[in-house]
Structure 1
Amino acid sequence: MKLYIKYMVSLRCKLFVKYELEKLGLHHTSVELGMIEIKEDISELQKQELKSNLAISGLELIDDKRSILIDKIKNVIIEMIHYSDEVPKVNYSDYIAQKLNYDYTYLSNLFSEVKGITIQHFIIKHKIERAKELILYDELNLTEIAYKLNYSSVAHLSNQFKKVTGHTPSFYKKIGKKRKSNLEDL
């Protein structure tokens, strides 16, 4: 039986969900971002208890098919940007459509209708968040970050970064270093 969970976007969330399933005596065959598969059928009582326990940590059991699909779209994007080291060989729209086995136009229209932003805007927001992380780690230069996040150039990354954050990547890096040094002085 498959269950879908909203806001499940990290490895810590996966561990928490596994723990909650074990507490209820449920055996999982798969725990992925946004989706779990359990061996048994879940009783209504178990479902309500799981729902309550997940809510305590900000996770939400999803029943509605449209919400499940929206969550799947978000999880594909988050996995692609934050957890994958390989850049997709095809453009994002084709990648998402292939992963979910739906027409991209349908997915795009549904996402925009429900979330109020386009899939492309959601991708950009996550790419900039990932760029921020990589800038603060200070292991890659901007050219390497631009390549890793599938930008055509450093200028393209810098322009989107400034549009989203209001700062240039180099200014953001200075702020991060300053913050680190202030914390070390404590």
Structure 2
Amino acid sequence: MKLFVKNMVCHRCILAVEQIFKSMQYTPIAIKLGEVELQEQVKPADLEQISQKLEAIGFELLNDKERQGVSQIKSLLVELLQGEQLVLEMPLSTYLSTKLNREYLYLTQLFSQLESTTIEQYFIQLKIEKVKELLLYDELSLKEISFRLNYSSVAHLSTQFKKITGMTPTAFKQLSLPHRKKLDQL
């Protein structure tokens, strides 16, 4: 049985969700960002308790297929950004269509309808939050960040960063209180 969980964005999230299912005597076969596959069927009486336990730690059990689809899209985009370097050997639309086995037109319409933004705009927001994170770590130059996140140039990254945040990457880095959003809050 597959269940979909909103807001799973990191390895610690996976461990926390796994612990909840194990505590309820369910055996996870596979847990990926946003998705839990169980060996057994979940008893209807347990669904509410699982949902409450997930909500207590900041997650949400998704019930309808459309919300599950949006959650899968978001999880795939977050996974892309978690690698050492963002490398896509195909357009984002083809990547998502292939991974989810759906036409991109369907995915983009569904996403836009439920999230009030496009997949592309959402991905840009994720990338900008990743740029902020990397700027705060202060380990990479802007050129290295640009390369790592597959921007065509530092100028392109800077333009997009300023359009989204209202400030340049350098100005952001100089802030005493950085304004970052957690990926699960996007």
Given the two structures, how large is their TM-score scaled by the length of structure 2? 0.90
* Alpha-carbon distance in structure 2 between the residues aligned to 1:66 and 1:179: 37
Specify the SS of the correspondent of 1:162: helix
Letter in 1 for 2:132: K
* Alpha-carbon distance in structure 1 between the residues aligned to 2:102 and 2:165: 32
1:165 corresponds to: 165
1:56 corresponds to: 56
2:114 corresponds to: 114
**Identity across the alignment (%):** 40
Letter in 2 for 1:17: V
RMSD, aligned CA: 1.5
Larger Rg: 1
* Alpha-carbon distance in structure 2 between the residues aligned to 1:60 and 1:148: 31
Letter in 2 for 1:132: K
After superposition, give the CA deviation of every residue in 1:99-153 in whole Å (9 maximum; x if it has no partner).
Answer: 1111111111111111100111100000000001111111111111111111111
Letter in 2 for 1:165: T
1:156 corresponds to: 156
Provide closer, same or farther for how the CA distance between residues 66 and 107 of structure 1 changes in structure 2, counting only shifts above 3 A. Answer: same
* Alpha-carbon distance in structure 1 between the residues aligned to 2:59 and 2:50: 10
After superposition, give the CA deviation of every residue in 1:69-88 in whole Å (9 maximum; x if it has no partner).
Answer: 01101111111123453411
1:183 corresponds to: none
Number of aligned residue pairs: give it. 178
* Alpha-carbon distance in structure 2 between the residues aligned to 1:160 and 1:119: 16
* Greater helix share, structure number: 1
Whether the aligned pair in 1 keeps the contact of 2:3 and 2:35 (CA below 8 Å) is: yes
1:89 corresponds to: 89
* Alpha-carbon distance in structure 2 between the residues aligned to 1:136 and 1:8: 23
* Alpha-carbon distance in structure 1 between the residues aligned to 2:95 and 2:70: 15
1:127 corresponds to: 127
After superposition, give the CA deviation of every residue in 1:41-75 in whole Å (9 maximum; x if it has no partner).
Answer: 11111222111111111211111010110110111
Letter in 2 for 1:106: Y
**Structure 1: which 5+ runs fail to align?**
181-186
Specify the SS of the correspondent of 2:45: helix
Given the two structures, how large is their TM-score scaled by the length of structure 1? 0.90
Provide closer, same or farther for how the CA distance between residues 73 and 84 of structure 1 changes in structure 2, counting only shifts above 3 A. Answer: farther
1:74 corresponds to: 74
Specify the SS of the correspondent of 1:4: strand
